[in-house]
Amino acid sequence: MRPLARLVPLLALVTLAPGLAWSRDEELLRRPRHADPVPIPGGFVPFSGAPLIHVFAPGPSPPFMGEDIEPSVIGDFDGFTAMAYLAGTATDAGGNTYDMQCDIRVYRGAYVAADGTRHHGTFGFI
């Protein structure tokens, strides 16, 4: 594993920041679980012993699974979906460089939660 960037003690201030300031994101994360969406039933097991990952990989095959493949990870869903695979590079504070790859998706629409109730929400697959 690449050595991590040097720890800068002053950045502890930033680590503490979430506890000092109001965060709407964290409020969303604390939303009652009964309103959570459910995953799509399908998915894949990436290696022996790993859990079933409820996600598919749309896109031209190979290397992806095909263009007519489900892009949503949310089941019982009706709404807007955008997804993309992105590649680039990243640099840390120590000047170390990395190859970066992302599978970013965003969803907005109606969904049925595990308890059968219907909701509307916006979700990020990040």
Partner 1 sequence: MDLFEPGTGFSVQVHDYNPGIAPSGLFWTVPIPDDALSFRGRTARLELEDFPVVDSRVFLGTTEEPARVTLDVTFTGEGKVHEFRSGSSDPADPTAFAGRFRFGRARGRFSGGNASGLRFRSSVATSDGLFAEIGHERNGVFLGSHGTHPMASALEREEEPSAVATAPGLGLARALPNPAIAASSFEFTLGAPAPVSIAVFDPAGRRVATILDGRELPAGAHAYRWDLRDASGRRVAPGIYLVEWKTPGESRLRRLAVLP
| Residues of this chain, 48-87, that bind partner 1 according to CB under 8 A | 50-56, 58-60, 64-87
Q: Verify binding: residue 32, partner 1, rule CB under 8 A.
A: no
Contacts of 67 (CB under 8 A, 6+ apart): 58, 59, 60, 61
Q: Taking the complex as a whole, how short is the minimal distance between the CB of residue 91 and partner 1, in angstroms?
A: 6
Among 6, 48, 62, 117, interactor with partner 1 by CB under 8 A? 6
As beta bridge partners, residue 28 has none
Distances (CA, A) of 42 to 51, 70, 74, 86: 12, 10, 11, 24
Among 32, 48, 62, 90, interactor with partner 1 by CB under 8 A? 90
Q: Are 106 and 82 in contact (CB under 8 A)?
A: yes
Contacts (CB under 8 A) with partner 1, residues 97-126: 97-102, 104-110, 112, 114, 121-126
Among 7, 32, 62, 117, interactor with partner 1 by CB under 8 A? 7
Q: Taking the complex as a whole, how short is the minimal distance between the CB of residue 12 and partner 1, in angstroms?
A: 8
- By rule CB under 8 A, what count of residues binds partner 1? 94
Which helix (H) or strand (E) segment holds residue 28: the answer is helix 24-29
Name the amino acid, one letter, at 12.
A
Q: Are 60 and 26 in contact (CB under 8 A)?
A: no
Q: Taking the complex as a whole, how short is the minimal distance between the CB of residue 120 and partner 1, in angstroms?
A: 9
